Amino acid sequence: MIGEELVQLLTPEGERIAHSDYESTLGSDEIFGLYRDMVIIRRLCNESTSLQRQGQLALWAPIQGQEAAQIGAGRALAPMDFTFPTYREHGIAWCRGVPPKDMLRLFRATSNGGWDPQKYRHSVPTVVLGNQALNAVGYAMGVQRDGAEEAVMAFFGDGASSQGDVLESFVWAASFNTPTVFFCQNNQWGISTPMSIQSKIPLYHRAHGFGFPGIRVDGNDVLAVYEVTKRALESARVGGGPTLIEAYTYRLGAHTTSDDPTRYRIDAEVEVWKHRDPIERVKSLLVREYHVKAAKFDDVTVEADALALELREDVLAMDRPDPITMFDHAYAAPHPLVDEGRREMMELGVSAGAHS
């Protein structure tokens, strides 16, 4: 199932494995930091699923199984890099410093974005599949014109890899040699659409046809994801051009809380991937190699629980916005139809609390 060209630095059992091109550069504290990130983001994700089930969110897109792909990539980024996410990049958002409650504004249906993208250098979520890949390449063209040493990362999944915009972004990035790292989380399923329908070749092979390097990394191996992403970003920053990273992983949960994966995939497949759990893998390493004590892991669990509780409280306190705010920022400059709508709503006496 997993090709031999997969970059892996940790086996599913958490044992180090040598790779001819990559080796882990991280020490125990940094590896423990990645573990902590993954535990926290999984806990926050589980809390969000619960919040949706309790009617507090309109929708949630879980990332269970993809924590290593996102945390490995997210921690490889430098502060000045810029990222273009989909709606499922909660781990990236966490690494960029976006407050968890802001990640949930989209799903609480109180905002179409949720955070200041320039402050965190993490763009607002793109829901239309693949659009953001072109936006990322355009941003990278701006970086080139500014003469800046910054990399730009575009996130998308195996499903969006079939979109014209993603393929056009490959053309643009190659032709203009833009500082773009395309990070494709191949979680095997586009809702119910399996990889076998999306591509007849491994996704990372596609890059070669466009004229830039593609690499497949074990998306459940946080050390490998970190090193592969770090090198691709470094190359991009100094004029090395784009790289496509295919993080080979698996969506353990549903596409979203509106999805029922039992209708299209078998439990046995899910079980296989549960044994490749990205968090257990790095925990094994930390125990075996660095003799990290149980109490230290427990501390992370406690911290994650506290953050989840805080998130819950923040979300429950998140009121529906004042309807009049729908007229804010529709345009940058005054617009007569927006003004007309705002005036009409004010005359009707609509307020934040009143709705039926």
- Of how many residues is the chain composed? 356
Pick the catalytic residue: 42, 206, 251, 276?
A: 251
Handedness of CA 86, 90, 92, 94 (dihedral sign): positive
- Token pair, residue 26, equals 């991280």
| Residue of 53, 275, 293, 335 that binds another protein (CB under 8 A) | 335
- Judged by beta carbon, residue 168 or residue 280, the one nearer another protein is 168
CB of 15 or CB of 328, closer to another protein: 328
DSSP readout, 288-303?
HHH---HHHHHHHHHH
Interacting residues with another protein between 131 and 150 (CB under 8 A)? 131, 133-146
Contacts of 162 (CB under 8 A, 6+ apart): 198, 199
**Selected binder of another protein within 37, 165, 227, 259 (CB under 8 A):** 165
d(CA 20, CA 40): 32
Nearer to another protein, 118 or 196 (CB): 118
Rounded to the nearest 5°, which phi and psi values hold at 84? -120, 105
| Two tokens, residue 230 | 């770090």
Between the alpha carbon of residue 11 and those of residues 2, 5, 35, 42, 207, the distances in Å are 12, 14, 16, 21, 26
Q: Is the CB of 69 or the CB of 184 nearer to another protein?
A: 184
Rounded CA-CA distance 123/58 in Å is 22
Size of the residue set binding another protein (CB under 8 A): 44
Q: Does 343 bind another protein (CB under 8 A)?
A: no
- E strand residue ranges, 193-260: 193-194, 214-218, 243-248
**Catalytic annotation on 320?**
no
Write the CA distances from 330 to 86, 87, 127, 333, 334, integer angstroms. 22, 21, 18, 9, 9
- Residue among 58, 109, 171, 238 that touches another protein (CB under 8 A): 171
Q: Binding string, 51-90, against another protein, x = CB under 8 A?
A: ---------------------------------x------
Interface mask toward another protein for 173-212; x: CB under 8 A: --x-------------------------------------
Q: Are 40 and 304 in contact (CB under 8 A)?
A: yes
Q: What is the DSSP string of 265-282?
A: S-HHHHHHHHTT-HHHHH
Q: Is 264 among the catalytic positions?
A: yes
Is the CB of 191 or the CB of 330 nearer to another protein?
330
In which region does residue 139 sit, left (phi positive, over 0), alpha (psi from -120 to 50) or beta (all else)? alpha
**Least CB distance from residue 165 to another protein, whole Å?**
6
Q: Site residues for another protein, window 108-127 (CB under 8 A)?
A: 111-113, 116-118, 123-124, 126
Q: Is 231 among the residues known to form the active site?
A: no
Structure tokens, 107 = 């799903």
Tell me which stretch binds another protein (CB under 8 A): 47-55, 171-179, 214-222, 253-261: 171-179
Say which residue the tokens 């607002």 belong to. 124
Nearer CB in complex with another protein: 127/191: 127
Interface stretch with another protein, choices 9-17, 164-172, 213-221, 261-269 (CB under 8 A): 164-172
CA geometry: angle at 295 spanning 91 and 69, to 5°? 20
Of residues 88, 96, 108, 255, which has the active-site annotation? 255
From 266, 294, 333, 354, residue interacting with another protein (rule: CB under 8 A): 333
Q: Which of 240, 217, 242, 239 is nearest to 227 (CA)?
A: 217
- Among candidate residues 53, 208, 264, 275, the one labeled active-site is 264
94 vs 139 by CB, closer to another protein: 139
Chain residues in the site for another protein (CB under 8 A): 84, 111-113, 116-118, 123-124, 126, 128, 131, 133-146, 152, 164-165, 168-169, 171-172, 175, 328-333, 335-338
Residues tagged active-site: 251, 255, 264
